[in-house]
Amino acid sequence: MAENETLECITEHERILQEIESTDTACVGPTLRSVYDDQPNAHKRFMEKLDARIRNHDREIEKMCNFHHQGFVDAITELLKVRADAEKLMGQVTDTNRRLQEAGREVTAQTEEVIRCRIQQRNMATTVEKLQLCIPVLEMYSKLKEQLESKRYYAALKTMEQLEKVYIPRVSQYRFCQIMAENLPRLREEIKEISMSDLKDFLESIRKHSDKVGETAMRQAQQHRTFNSAVAKQTSIGHYAKPVYSLNGRTHSHSPNGLLMDDDVVDEEEADEEVLTAQDLVDFSPVYRCLHIYTVLGDRETFENYYRKQRKKQARLVLQPQANMHETVEGYRRYFNQIVGFFVVEDHILHATQGLVTRAFTDELWNMALSKIIAVLRTHSSYCDDPDLVLELKNLIVIFADTLQGYSFPVNRLFDLLFEVRDQYNETLLKKWALVFREIFELDNYSPIPVETEEEYKLVISRFPFHDAEIEKQDFPKKLPMSQSVPQIYTQVKEFIYASLKFSESLHRSSTEIDDMLRKSTNLLLTRTLSTCLQNLIKKPHIGLTELVQIIINTTHLEQACRYLEEFITNITNVSPETVHTTRLYGLSTFKDARHAAEGEIYTKLNQKIDEFIQLADYEWGMAESDGRASGYLMDLINFLRSTFQVFTHLPNNNNDHASMSGKVAQTACMSACKHLSTSLMQMLLDTELKQISMGAIQQFNLDVIQCELFASSDPVPGFQGDTLQLAFIDLRQLLDLFMVWDWSTYLADYGQPTSKYLRVNPATALALLEKVYRGMKDTSKKNNIFSQFRKNDRDKQKLIETVVKQLRSLVNGMSS
């Protein structure tokens, strides 16, 4: 075992030594580490083995050195012999070199001089060549500076383009060219900023000058309309003058460069005065210059977007009205001038530039503006209550629409708006004429018009179409049936028609449409304004019966005059009334309604007057006997009624219709008064607060009713047949006869029979009055109980009354069941 281990150890050491000999020194570490990792005492044995290997190598080296020693010695000997020759040769070479250097020193100096001259010559040629390349660059750059100083920015941009594409690339290696190239973008930005600043100044300027531009354009449009009207009149007599005017100056077209050019050369006689255009009032060069600059810089889209955005903002500012614009026509005029000026400028930009603004953009702006304009006008016109201001507003809208229509902007919605403004105008007219009518009614004396002379008569009939053959035959002085308000009302209606006609001018409407407008507005005046004024007049407390009668007469004559108003409108519009769809005047119904209201007010006031007299009644309901004559209040009432019904003789009766009308009014008023008097007297008897009535009071009341019947039979108003008017008191008469005759047996026996003498007496009415009489008799019996001979008669009468009361109650109960 020990021997085997020793052999293995020796073999391992041998391997390690071979690795050490054959391996690089940097890798010896792991090999040596394996010596120490081996068995104990292995290190010692390895060192012994290593020493043995070293001694072995030393012996081999020694053998090799001994083998080559003689050759080495021989080589050294040979070298020693050659050294002397080498030193001799070195000396000769050194001497030769010295002599050669001395001989070539002058040639070298001359050669260097030649080389230096050649280099200078070459450098000079190169410099000249480079300077010839640089001089144009410097000249162009100097030119660029001059152009910038003189604000020729478009030319400066062209120069920059040449510098970048042609000149600088030739000498781009030089520092100054690099500096130039670096400066060019900065200069472009400066030009952009400067041109944009000019554009902003232009936009600010155009905002200030829009008012003047619009004022000029609208004035020219108005002159154009006036000129066309004159031409139309001249055409009818065979003369015609060619217009020298268009809405943007003279008639124009567009040249290739986008600027406006004149199409027609006007004769000197026709062009005495040149018309100002937008170019004459506004310098558009900043826009053109900025557009060209941004186009050259390849940033046109940015410029277009900026310009359109700013113009949209300005449009919104222009469309904002002043708060008090509706107070004066100047406020509206400034508003329209600014808008027209804005769109005149946009139209010029549209045609003078290629694509800066498009037709779609201007249409969008116009549609936005049109909606805003209509809303503003609709709002502000509603605040206006002066028809003259509304009329001036209408004229401004027409000129405004005509002006913009000349620039191909659609304005149909503006003319549609005019119909709304027309309604507003009519409303203001109606309000104004309502005041006029009220003033006329307040100043009227409601008396027939006195005419002293024929001149006065002609003056009246010149203002109002009145014709009456009977009155014309009368001698002067004489009276016309209507009051002074009638010709005044008729004249004011004609003035209203004229005022309404003014609005229809220049609306580009046909005669038929204008005729229809006039008739509709006149109908509103008659059916609403005048009718309301008449109704309010009739309801006024101070208007008495005499005034109401005169109002009926007035409305009758105004009703007759309506056909003359129709003829008046026909003469103005030249539209035949037989034309289909022609609107008729509704004056007939207006005046008929007013007349009916006046009649109703007559009946009401008459009844109120009767009530006032009735309130003066002071019956002594417990009197033993009557006074033998009618009550004073009733006689006063009857006298009042007689004098009142005489007033109705003044109602118009110049023809059968009016005669029948006046008779009907008088008869109705008389019948209404009698019925109201009868009802009031009946209510007085049946008043619940009246507890007892004596037979003497019944007799006194009977005398009053007799006077009423005498009044009814005296024919206070002609036209009643037979005793028709007396029938108004039939209920009272039968009731009083029943009590005066004390014919209860007949009443009870014939009750319900058509031939009954007391057919109009209601059991409940008879019962109520009988109970009051019964209480009165009982009270009288108590006072007269000292006369015993009457007590038995009173008791018998009381028993009879009690019996009748029971029977009446049974009749009342039978009716209720």
Tell me the domain boundaries of the chain.
284-409, 429-595, 617-815
CA-based radius of gyration for the chain: 66
Residue 668 has pLDDT above 90, yes or no: no
Averaged pLDDT of the chain: 78
pLDDT at 193: 80
pLDDT at 119: 92
Q: Which two tokens stand for residue 679?
A: 């009802």
Average pLDDT for 69-73: 83
Where is average pLDDT lowest: 205-209, 266-270, 755-759?
Answer: 266-270
pLDDT band at 117, cuts 50/70/90? very high
The DSSP result for 23-81, as a single string, is S-GGGHHHHHHHHHTSSTTHHHHHHHHHHHHHHHHHHHHHHHHHHHHHHHHHHHHHHHH
Phi, psi of 246 (to 5 degrees): -130, 170
- CA pair distance 334, 400, nearest whole angstrom: 11
Average pLDDT for 208-216: 80
Q: Which two tokens stand for residue 801?
A: 């009354």
- CA pair distance 801, 786, nearest whole angstrom: 22
CB contact at 8 A, 514 and 444: no
pLDDT band at 84, cuts 50/70/90? confident
Q: Is 356 helix (H, G, I), strand (E, B) or coil?
A: coil
Give residue-wise pLDDT tens across range 585-628: 666 677 888 888 888 888 888 888 888 888 888 888 888 787 78
CATH of the domain spanning 429-595, picked from 1.10.357.30, 2.70.150.10, 3.40.50.300, 3.90.870.10: 1.10.357.30
Cα distances (angstroms) measured from residue 485 to each of 398, 651, 796? 38, 17, 71
Average pLDDT for 528-534: 86
pLDDT at 3: 61
Give the residue from 170, 146, 169 showing the smallest Cα distance to 159.
Answer: 146
Residue 98 class from Cβ within 10 Å (0-12 exposed, 13-18 middle, 19+ buried)? exposed
How many percent of the chain have pLDDT more than 90?
Answer: 3
Where is average pLDDT lowest: 111-115, 523-527, 655-659, 794-798?
Answer: 655-659
Contacts of 480 (CB under 8 A, 6+ apart): 448, 449, 451, 460, 466, 471
Q: Which two tokens stand for residue 722?
A: 């037979």
Contacts of 649 (CB under 8 A, 6+ apart): none
- CA pair distance 461, 455, nearest whole angstrom: 10
Give the residue from 270, 272, 262, 278 showing the smallest Cα distance to 216.
Answer: 278
Average pLDDT for 155-160: 79
Phi, psi of 200 (to 5 degrees): -65, -40
Q: Name 253's bridge partners.
A: 261
Place of tokens 């080495």: 72
CB contact at 8 A, 669 and 548: no
Does an H or E element contain 166, and which? none
- Backbone angle region of 41, left / alpha / beta, with phi > 0 → left and psi within -120 to 50 → alpha: left
CB contact at 8 A, 241 and 266: no
Give the residue from 561, 557, 548, 559 showing the smallest Cα distance to 482.
Answer: 557
pLDDT at 237: 41
pLDDT at 259: 32
pLDDT at 254: 36
- CA pair distance 640, 628, nearest whole angstrom: 22
pLDDT band at 86, cuts 50/70/90? confident
Torsion sign (Cα): 567, 572, 574, 580: negative
pLDDT band at 792, cuts 50/70/90? low
Give residue-wise pLDDT tens across range 307-320: 888 888 888 888 88
How many percent of the chain have pLDDT more than 70?
Answer: 84
Contacts of 61 (CB under 8 A, 6+ apart): none
Phi, psi of 375 (to 5 degrees): -65, -40
**How far is Cα of residue 165 from the mean position of the Cα atoms in its chain?**
58
Give the residue from 399, 398, 351 showing the smallest Cα distance to 247.
Answer: 399
Average pLDDT for 203-219: 81
Cα distances (angstroms) measured from residue 707 to each of 629, 636, 638, 757? 9, 11, 8, 22
Give residue-wise pLDDT tens across range 462-515: 888 888 778 878 888 888 888 888 899 899 988 988 888 888 776 767 778 788
- CA pair distance 401, 343, nearest whole angstrom: 12
Give the residue from 135, 116, 210, 115 showing the smallest Cα distance to 177.
Answer: 135
The conformation of residue 786, written as its DSSP 8-state character, comes to T
Is 716 or 268 the better-scoring residue by pLDDT?
A: 716
Is 100 or 274 the better-scoring residue by pLDDT?
A: 100
Residue 266 has pLDDT above 50, yes or no: no
- CA pair distance 38, 17, nearest whole angstrom: 15
- CA pair distance 698, 684, nearest whole angstrom: 12
Give residue-wise pLDDT tens across range 365-417: 888 888 888 888 888 877 777 888 888 888 888 888 888 888 888 888 888 88
Q: Is 495 helix (H, G, I), strand (E, B) or coil?
A: helix
Give residue-wise pLDDT tens across range 545-562: 778 888 888 888 888 888
Rank 39-48, 195-204, 495-504 by mean pLDDT and report only the highest.
495-504
Q: Which two tokens stand for residue 153?
A: 């920015």
pLDDT at 115: 92
Residue 306 has pLDDT above 90, yes or no: no
Give residue-wise pLDDT tens across range 215-255: 888 888 778 767 766 665 555 444 333 333 333 433 333 33
Could you give the dihedral angle defined by the CA atoms of residues 349, 354, 357 and 361, in that order, rounded to the nearest 10 degrees?
A: 120
Residue 584 has pLDDT above 70, yes or no: no
Where is average pLDDT lowest: 38-52, 83-97, 219-233?
Answer: 219-233
Is 686 or 274 the better-scoring residue by pLDDT?
A: 686
CB contact at 8 A, 384 and 341: no
Q: Which two tokens stand for residue 279?
A: 């170019």
Place of tokens 């567009």: 254
pTM above 0.75, yes or no: no
Give the residue from 583, 528, 584, 526 showing the smallest Cα distance to 555.
Answer: 526
CB contact at 8 A, 485 and 554: yes
CATH says 284-409 is which class? mainly alpha
- CA pair distance 191, 204, nearest whole angstrom: 20
CB contact at 8 A, 171 and 131: no
Phi, psi of 407 (to 5 degrees): -105, 20
Residue 181 has pLDDT above 50, yes or no: yes
Give the residue from 376, 374, 392 showing the smallest Cα distance to 428.
Answer: 392
Average pLDDT for 102-113: 86
pLDDT at 45: 77
CB contact at 8 A, 441 and 401: no
pLDDT band at 783, cuts 50/70/90? low
Residue 264 has pLDDT above 50, yes or no: no
- Backbone angle region of 722, left / alpha / beta, with phi > 0 → left and psi within -120 to 50 → alpha: left
Residue 93 has pLDDT above 70, yes or no: yes
CATH of the domain spanning 617-815, picked from 3.40.50.720, 1.20.58.670, 1.10.40.50, 1.50.10.100: 1.20.58.670
